[in-house]
Structure 1
Amino acid sequence: MSIDHGHHLGTVDQDVLDGQSAYNKRALTFYDLLVYRGSSPLFWRCSPRNFLRMYDTCVGAEHVEIGVGTGYLLDHCRFPVSDPRITLVDLNPATLEFTAKRLAKFRTNQVRANALEPLPLPKASHDSVALSFLLHCVPGSIKEKGVALAHAAEVVRPGGVVFGSTILSSGVPVTRAGRSLMAKLNAKGVFHNQQDSLDDLRDQLTQHFVSHDLVVRGCVGLFRARTAR
């Protein structure tokens, strides 16, 4: 396992740092329960099966995970090979360490980097990149943070796949309970998705990829996009 401590980070916007600071070691212990058993099915109306199905059909032998969470999906999905190589990319050293430990059965490489900046990875070097539940935590509108999709596209091979999910606030059905929790999380700076619409997500996918699929489950947009061959 190799670790890149991110000397290329430069200056990172404080809002970006605040968005990931909630994920400390203690919080990560409860994260899977809160997200996959709690908020996702109950508030965002999206079953965790949707995420796993997407990983099972999209993840490649050489994979990059941007915004690693706890590694739950990587731990439970089916890779196309028995010994995938996984590069974990996150701003938060606690999430990187937690996830790398969980995925000890795989070859992992930790990279500390900001998804809004070009990734410190070789161009066209991976089969797949995932951004799961990441964009709604990143400050700005989808038009601004869609640049993370462009950076992801740069590191996949021709015809490679970039996939993921994000919680949207407009153009999708949001329950009253979901709207209330969303407002609280935005107020705390954990979420930044007040301006995130389905149309803007679709526009960004169209702009950065030759083809894409975008489906809505509850208020979650799940996307799978391909780069040019």
Structure 2
Amino acid sequence: MKTSEEVIAGQAIYSRSVLSIYDIWVLGISNSFIWKCPSSRILSLFNQHVSANHLDVGVGTGYFLDRCKFPVANPRVALMDLNENSLHAAAARINRYKPETYKHNVLEPVTQSIASFDSISINYLFHCLPGPLSQKAVLLDYLHPLLNENGVLFGSTILQGDVKRGYPARKLMSIYNKKGIFSNTQDDLQSLRQSLSKRYREFGVEVQGCVALFWGKK
């Protein structure tokens, strides 16, 4: 699998020990008090768009898949990530759904034979990938064949440009970018809107704090 140093750095932070505190630090403290977008708001986005045939890309700990309201009792759920620790953690957390798992670098075309989905989520993925948002939005093109007609792709990302950031957000974002955990110095709201408008017949973007919550319909 071809991977750049930046892609490897962005996902390497998610060791088992880091994942053990991810929900508390990222989804609890950081979202509410630093990024100013409570995880309940992202969960609401999930509940609005998730289908009975769903793919989650950049899976974290599986927090939202574990808590969201699928429209059926036994949905088809798939997980896609480059980090095996995240795949294992998320798969174990939602074991009741018997999830499919796919190890994949989202900045490369999907070559595996995978049946398509009615919904795809990409939460907190863009800001971890190298390059400006206008370029790394190519992942939307690579995921496009996996989305059924009239299907919806949705997610969230932390921006720098065109959004209000308090001092804690500016400081932590700077640290994360220097360490290679984030790569969002060139990510702004206008680039996100343009990336979605080029690829989806309908789309929406809402900003809460310095987080953009978005969706696009094929």
Please give the TM-score of this superposition, normalised by the length of structure 2.
Answer: 0.97
User: How far 1:122 sits from its partner (Å)?
Assistant: 4.8
- After the TM superposition, which residues 13-28 of structure 1 pair with which residues of structure 2 at under 5 Å, given as runs? 13-28=4-19
* Correspondence for 1:192 among 183, 190, 195: 183
> In the alignment, is residue 226 of structure 1 matched against residue 207 of structure 2?
no
User: How far 1:190 sits from its partner (Å)?
Assistant: 0.3
> In the alignment, is residue 160 of structure 1 matched against residue 151 of structure 2?
yes
User: How far 1:11 sits from its partner (Å)?
Assistant: 1.3
Aligned counterparts of 2:72 and 2:97: Cα–Cα separation in 1: 11
> 1:102 is matched by which residue type in structure 2?
R
Number of aligned residues: 218
* Correspondence for 2:71 among 56, 59, 80: 80
Residue aligned with 1:46, SS: coil
Aligned counterparts of 1:31 and 1:117: Cα–Cα separation in 2: 26
Instruction: Give structure 1 stretches of 5+ with no counterpart.
Output: 1-9
Aligned counterparts of 2:131 and 2:95: Cα–Cα separation in 1: 34
> 1:213 is matched by which residue type in structure 2?
G
> In the alignment, is residue 46 of structure 1 matched against residue 29 of structure 2?
no
Residue aligned with 1:20, SS: helix
* Correspondence for 1:33 among 5, 24, 46: 24
> In the alignment, is residue 146 of structure 1 matched against residue 137 of structure 2?
yes
* Correspondence for 1:100 among 71, 87, 91: 91
Deviations 1:103-156 (A, max 9, x none): 111120110001111224557711100000000000000011001122222211
Residue aligned with 1:223, SS: strand
Counterpart in 2 of 1:3?
A: none
Residue aligned with 1:83, SS: coil
* Correspondence for 1:114 among 99, 105, 111: 105
Percent identity reads 37
> In the alignment, is residue 204 of structure 1 matched against residue 195 of structure 2?
yes
In the alignment, is the contact (CA less than 8 A) between 1:71 and 1:99 conserved in 2?
yes
Please give the TM-score of this superposition, normalised by the length of structure 1.
Answer: 0.93
In the alignment, is the contact (CA less than 8 A) between 1:142 and 1:197 conserved in 2?
yes
> 1:164 is matched by which residue type in structure 2?
G
Aligned counterparts of 1:45 and 1:159: Cα–Cα separation in 2: 32
User: How far 1:59 sits from its partner (Å)?
Assistant: 0.6
Q: Cα distance 1:207–1:124, how it changes in 2: closer, same or farther (>3 A)? A: farther
Counterpart in 2 of 1:11?
A: 2
Aligned counterparts of 1:124 and 1:217: Cα–Cα separation in 2: 34
Residue aligned with 2:181, SS: coil
Residue aligned with 2:141, SS: helix
> 2:63 is matched by which residue type in structure 1?
Y
Deviations 1:162-188 (A, max 9, x none): 000000001011111100000000011
Residue aligned with 1:171, SS: coil
> 2:197 is matched by which residue type in structure 1?
T
